[in-house]
Amino acid sequence: MKKFLGFAFLLLCSLSISAQTVPVGFDLSNFGVRIEPDKRVMAVLATLELARTTDAAGNSIPLINTPLSAEGAKFRELLNSDNAAVPADLRDRITSFVTRYKRSRPNISDAELLSPFISMAFTLSPAPDLADPVVTSDLPGSLLDVLDFAPLVRDFYRRSNFSANQNEYTKTYLRVADDKLRSSSREMVSELLVYMQTRPQLVFREQIKTETQRSGSKKTTLTQVETRERERRFVIVPEMLAPAGTVNFVNVKDDYYVIVPPDTDVSFSEVRRAYLQFVVDPLVIGNSKDIAVIRDSVKTLIDDRKKAGGTVSPDVYLTISRSLVAAIDTKQIENERVQIATAQARQRIAQMKTDDERRAVSRDLELAKQNFADESALRYSEDYEKGAILVFYFSEQLAGTEEAGFDISASMREMILSFDAAKEAGRYDRYADARKRALAARTAGQSPAASVIVENPVTKRLREIEGLVGEKNYKQAESDLKTLLNANPGEARIFYNLGRVASLSAVDIADEEQQKAKLLEAKIAYENVIRTAQGKPVDAALVSLSYVAIGKIYEYYDDRSTAVGVYDAAIRIGDVPGGAFKEALAAKQRLLKDMQ
């Protein structure tokens, strides 16, 4: 039994019941992503909570009263209670600053008022010092306007019990974030990287020239070129006091921060674009020589857009980066909707009895695809109007990489050098009809943005069953999965989850024969995932995970040679995002060493 418990622990670390086939063991840090509260942001926003005024009835109310999530509202009450004893003189100074600041900006919302304060927090040194930045000359004016608030934050940190409570606050933040925020972040990262067929660049290397005086000579210097490396990070900052439904994005050199309420589902939020920016920026910088070739052509388009009264950045590199991000974001969503709609159509066609019924389903599918394309055209147009003037061009280029399955980083050079400014003239106008159709659909409440996801019953049901697994109600989860499989035969995700539940159930079985029977069920379920992949488009990560799960079962039965062969199959799939390539490689190396 001890041997099996060790096997089960490894299985728990590498596999999951996720509805989107993203494993619990999917380590976000491997893709540059961290989810961690920022004590500077916590301190700044907690200080702002002390600013008070009175309403017409004489009641004390907050000066900045942003709407919060349910968890955020409970935290605000706790914070106010904990800060009841803050000295009156400090409260008055905070209130005075916020009053002046708010009066000078009467036309913006409370949520918008918070943005520069959040940005300012990232210029401060880590707590407890929270010191001002050494250099302020390159800070934007909106941030300089609130930098004088920093001394009040330091006073609050030192004169209240906030610092003593902050570690407990952080635990609360992480507890809430571990539910929706973390799971949706895994799904978001996995979906985007699978679509782009790439991995983010997590280290930035630059060549630095250094000069040193030659020994014994006053004039002669030695010039050397050093390679310096800097870590790149994408940090999702859960913040209880962040306004509900908002995303604040702050880029500080190689660190990209997004600040969101900790119970946020980031799947279809602006966090997607922030992460895409993190992935795309080094690709653009890395192709700077090729961009220099088309620079004048892009500059001409920028100037033409400005003359027409449009909003666009004069920076060619920024324009290219924003346009590519916008194109990937929209194109990936359209691609996913088409895949879901196509899979649903295939299931319906398989159940139809006549050719006329099948043709009707096919017509519905083509109409759905047209609606998706129209919605994408409208989104491209909206991004074009905001300055992403190359979004139509990059969307066209991405269509080619979708079909070929190329890594976007390997395709960047060709994308750039294929650019022809003359062909971009009139792009926006050519999509006028598509925009009209998409706007009409939105007005009628028929936007495909929500319809396809809602219509995917398998995904919805798997998420519900995941709750049973979390409660260790494996018997009911298995029953529900089998019912779901009867309604959706051949669905790889259901087979995978059946294998997962059988594996977890086996941990609690004392009888060796019954335990073996349960493991056999798990093995058959995982094998069905692999069989399904031979005839249908199945996520490569799911197949990779299934091979590794089977390999671990063979290991449990001490069939090492077979296990090595199964791990080899997972390795051949490659290091796909969300897969088990590294686990398979490590397991194979470990077994080969033991077998020597």
**Amino acid 140: pLDDT:** 79
| Tokens 């916020």 -> residue | 98
132: which DSSP letter? P
| Per-residue pLDDT in tens (0 to 9) along the chain, 596 residues | 334 434 443 343 333 333 344 544 468 899 999 999 999 999 999 999 999 998 888 888 899 999 999 899 999 999 999 999 999 999 999 999 999 999 999 999 999 999 999 999 999 999 999 999 887 777 777 888 999 999 999 999 999 999 999 999 999 999 999 878 998 898 899 889 989 989 999 998 877 777 776 666 666 677 777 888 899 999 999 999 999 989 999 999 899 999 999 999 898 889 999 999 999 999 999 999 999 999 999 999 999 999 999 999 999 999 999 999 999 999 999 988 888 888 888 878 888 888 888 899 899 899 999 999 999 999 999 999 999 999 999 999 998 777 666 789 889 999 999 999 998 888 899 999 999 999 888 777 655 544 443 345 677 788 788 878 878 889 999 999 998 888 887 788 899 999 999 999 988 888 888 888 899 999 999 988 888 776 555 677 788 899 999 999 988 888 888 888 899 888 988 877 667 888 888 888 888 887 76
d(CA 121, CA 131): 10
**Amino acid 129: pLDDT:** 95
Peptide bond into 128 cis (omega under 30): yes
How many other CB atoms are found less than 10 A from the CB of residue 139?
15
**Amino acid 452: pLDDT:** 43
Range 348-360 burial, b when 16+ CB lie within 10 A, else e:
beeeeeeeeebee
**Amino acid 559: pLDDT:** 86
What amino acid occupies position 185? Answer: S
pTM: 0.72
d(CA 335, CA 196): 11
Listing DSSP states for 498-530 in one string gives HHHHHHHHHHT--SHHHHHHHHHHHHHHHHHHH
d(CA 87, CA 92): 9
Give the start-to-end residue ranges of the domains of the chain.
2-25+456-595, 38-163, 287-454
**Amino acid 4: pLDDT:** 40
| Tokens 């895949």 -> residue | 339
Homologous superfamily of domain range 2-25+456-595: Tetratricopeptide repeat domain (1.25.40.10)
Are the beta carbons of 331 and 383 closer than 8 angstroms? no
Provide the greatest CA pair distance for the chain. 94
